[in-house]
Amino acid sequence: MTEETGSTENSAASETPQPERQLLHHVEFGSGTPVVLLHGYTIDHRLLLPLEPAFAMRHGWRRLYVDLPGSGRSPRLDGPVTAEAMGEAVLRFVDKVVGDEPFAVVGISYGGQLARHLVAERGPQVLGTALIAPLVKPSGQRLLPERQVLIRDEALLASLDPADREVFAGIALYQDDAGWSAFRDHVLPGIRAHHRGDAAALLKAYTFARTPESRFGTHDGRHLVVTGRQDHMVGWRDQLDLLDHYPRATYAVIDGAGHNVHLDQPDAVHGLIGNWLDTLAVERR
């Protein structure tokens, strides 16, 4: 994509169908220890690109920004759309692109559940995870704060396309020029590029039948959990339950941040991600 100058784009998609299952599309930066970055529901890899400043000032990290099945430029699943099928597609990607190397994972929202699935299935290989506003519990079972809007620019909202305004106003904590710019560049493209039918099907089987942690108990890698104090979508309380399973985890709840915590408070999140990466680097020596 033109906005990703200096990256390497990879996809097994072609005009002629191949017998082998298509590889998930991904955008790659850097070299060194692999880091698999997994986005959330109904968006694509572009949501996580604002994390690049935390990586760019450090050497030795090969960043793999993945489009999940049916999102961005990745192929759709060839069977039922379930959490288990999404998890299997991510496992195939890791086995093909990462191989047997140790790797780290960053997962945001729904991608956080998939990151934990990788811990369950490839635990000894996983150095650690950074879970940003991770999904922990199904809808209807979450402890959520009340919806808040900290800044609302009525003139800006009136100027937007009605469809864009509805989705932006439904999630954004800061409904001003800066908030809209971040949303327009990193959220809206994925919303426009996902398969609606598959997204609707996934909602019926959104979480794993068995939670990832029930499959491994504890994991001693270096983990980071970042939540937004004003996140009305997945909240910040349920994520505290993860700490029992990740004894070397850092947990942070950031005030002035909603579900897209890394867009609302980029400096704070970059600092936390940077510290996590530095800790992983020490462990790898």
Percentage of the chain beyond pLDDT 70 is 93
Question: Using one digit for the tens of pLDDT, what is the confidence trace for 245-268?
Answer: 999 999 999 999 999 999 999 999
Spatial distance between the Cα atoms of 88 and 246, rounded to a whole number of angstroms: 23
Give the pLDDT confidence of 153-185 residue by residue, as tens digits: 999 999 999 999 999 999 999 999 999 999 999
**DSSP H or E stretch at residue 253:** strand 249-254
CA distance 159 to 89: 40
Q: Name the residue ranges covered by the structural domains of the chain.
A: 8-143+192-284
Q: pLDDT > 90: what percent of the chain?
A: 90
Q: Is 176 exposed, middle or buried (0-12, 13-18, 19+ CB in 10 A)?
A: middle
pLDDT in tens, 5-24: 334 455 433 333 433 568 99
What is the model's pLDDT at position 21?
A: 67
Domain 8-143+192-284 bears CATH identifier 3.40.50.1820: yes
Q: Name the pTM for this structure.
A: 0.92
Helix spans in the chain (H): 52-56, 83-93, 110-122, 154-159, 162-171, 177-186, 188-193, 196-203, 261-264, 266-284
Mean pLDDT by 10 residues, the chain (285 residues): 39 39 92 98 98 96 98 97 98 98 98 98 98 97 98 98 97 98 98 97 97 97 98 98 98 98 98 98 82
